[in-house]
Homo-oligomer: A and B are copies of this chain.
Amino acid sequence: MNTQKIADDLIALCKAGKFDEAGEKYWADDVLSVEPSGEAAAVRGKQAARDKGEWWAGAHDIHSFDVGGPYVNGEQFVVRFTIDQTVKETGNRMTLDEVGLYTVKNGKIAEERFFYVG
């Protein structure tokens, strides 16, 4: 399965709101997941990636979201995420403007790296 097909399928799952399912289907067992900063800026392993997704889902109310791309080059692809969300703890509503850079190896996502508009 080539990068374009994996990227297309991952995007289709995300567009359908199936973020968890996209991860379960394509994360490599030892996936490296990298945020720009924070306590867990870089975590390794499917369980750690899953935990991060669960934390995010639990900490925010999602009002709407848009998924764009995929933008492909070789074994890498980029996905845009625009998410209208409220941080539950503070009540702050904000639009998250983000891209994910995915690196595919052996048909799985070996690395995901997230970038934000500062």
Q: Give the B-binding residues of A (Cβ under 8 A).
A: 4, 34-36, 69-74, 76-78, 80, 97-99, 101, 113-118
Contact = CB atoms under 8 A, between A and B. Distances in A.
Main secondary structure, interface of A, reads: strand
Given A78-B78, A101-B101, A116 B36 contact: no
A36 B74 CA distance: 6
A51 B113 CA distance: 31
A83 to B, nearest CB: 14
A73 B98 CA distance: 11
A113 B73 contact: yes
A115 B97 CA distance: 18
Contacts of A116: 71-73
Nearest to A113: B73
29 contacts: A4-B118, A34-B73, A36-B72, A36-B74, A69-B99, A69-B117, A71-B97, A71-B98, A71-B99, A71-B115, A71-B116, A71-B117, A72-B115, A72-B116, A72-B117, A72-B118, A73-B113, A73-B114, A73-B115, A73-B116, A76-B101, A76-B113, A76-B115, A78-B99, A78-B101, A78-B115, A80-B80, A99-B99, A101-B101
